[in-house]
Chain A
Amino acid sequence: MTGAPPGRPKSSAWRHVVLRLVFVLALPVVLVTVWWVASDGSEDVYWPPLRTIVSAFPDVWTGERWRGDVLPSVLRLAAGYGLAAVAGVALGLLVGSHRRVRAVCEPVLEFLRAVPPPVLVPVIMLFAGIGDTMKIVVIASGCVWPVLLNTVEGVRALDPVAAETARSYGVTGVARLKDVVLPSAGPQIFAGLRQALSIGIILMVISEMFAASNGLGFTIVQFQRGFAIPGMWTGILLLGLLGFALSVLFRLVERRVLGWYHGLRAATRR
């Protein structure tokens, strides 16, 4: 795993950390530099110099914008994503544990998953209106499928020896779900949650482009319509940074919850 192996001298451990940082940062630095240099002095309205975009950033993203646009977007994402995670795992446990239920549900699930979630926006607007509810429903209805299907697979993949152990020691019912089935499916569930996160961000933006009065997606479209091109670019940059931050956060949570799994994998590789 990361970090220096025990027994290595301290200076070498430091060099290891620095080296890792260099590896992580090298490509982003190169790309930003290339963008900066290549766009510098650009006269094209649609491709403003990166210098202009960066200097516009603090003017555009004032405290008021953070409160009025970024926060509502993030809250809607959190609500929709959380709803999808809970529903996906709960339904996944149900479908995955019963062969008959699975046989009935599987074709329908595959179909529903195959429907591109953005096309649901106009439909969901019809009954959920154009408020926060609509956006949350759109995000949840797109995020739920990868979580659900991965949970089903994870539950099905329960080791037969683990299942027999649980049975022979009378570990049944809720305890079996909580202490055996759910943790054993954990790695798969997290794979689903990771896919769902990127889908969620996409749907957050798309739902705000259709009908909204605030939010990141709304703001970016407003800038584009108002020909405030540098402002539009700052919004896109902010979205990218938001996605990056969420994925780092996700990885931290995953490392913590699935610590046993990474340890186990490292142990079997040895």
Chain B
Amino acid sequence: MLQRLRESKSMQGALLALPTTLWLLVLLIIPLFLTLVVSFGQRSPDGNVIYSFTLDNYTRLLGYNTDCPAGQSSCFDPLYVNILWRSLSLAFNTTVIVITLAYPLAYFIARATPKRRNLFLFMVLIPLWTNFVIRVYAWMMLLRKEGAINIALGWLANLFNIPFAPLEMLYTPGAVLVGMVYEFLPFMILPIYTSLEKIDNSLYEAAADLGANAFRTFLRVTLPLSMPGVVAGTILVFIPVMGTFIVSDILGGRQVILVGNLIQRQFLDARDPTFGSAASLILMVMTLIVTYFYTRKFGFGEEIVSA
């Protein structure tokens, strides 16, 4: 046996990879299958799972409702579809704003002298590694009625003698959007920076020699070559925004319910794991579809440039 192991390269490789592969199989892949199985099940009165095959959880998510006004056997309830749509559009808006904010900063860092570049990058890493929950808390302090933003606005209004009443910013959809943008901004800066930094300086010189002005150079050289960074950053931002529930929980109060909150509540408060599993699978399918089409569309554009 030992002799065979010493001689067989493929057995050695399999043995080395076995612990990791088994670990991922048991704790990532099997749980996904289990979620799929549970999502077809039924809830027992005490909140357990009765294994069966029913599509009830999915039809309920998509708006089919059996609890209707008198005279109707079924009707459309847009509650869950609205939650899914809200999550999707929030993820989209967050990603667009994050790209707009991250790009100039990444460009600024990439164009800095090598010595300063490290410092500027370091300054992006600190907020990135500051705990997620702490960063939500920081915005809670800023946005509330007596918070720093209202104090600053009141001071400004006072300066210009404008009457001022503190704004209600916490527990609104806007607060959730700002929180999401803040949480995920660093995840966009780093990949864009990486792709910008790779661009060969001689390309800029060539563009200048051929008579392109700064704006044209940016549009025709810099932007296309940095697209891989934008695509990577989008995946790193869009997917987690779709599933996050802390930001909406803390900054949205109970006003802004996203699919993450829906799933969390099914498992902890409502005790309906079968419905939660179905919502979770819909979330996974939504992110996979968006990611697939997005990378296919822009991955193609990337190839045109490199050709």
A and B from one complex: no
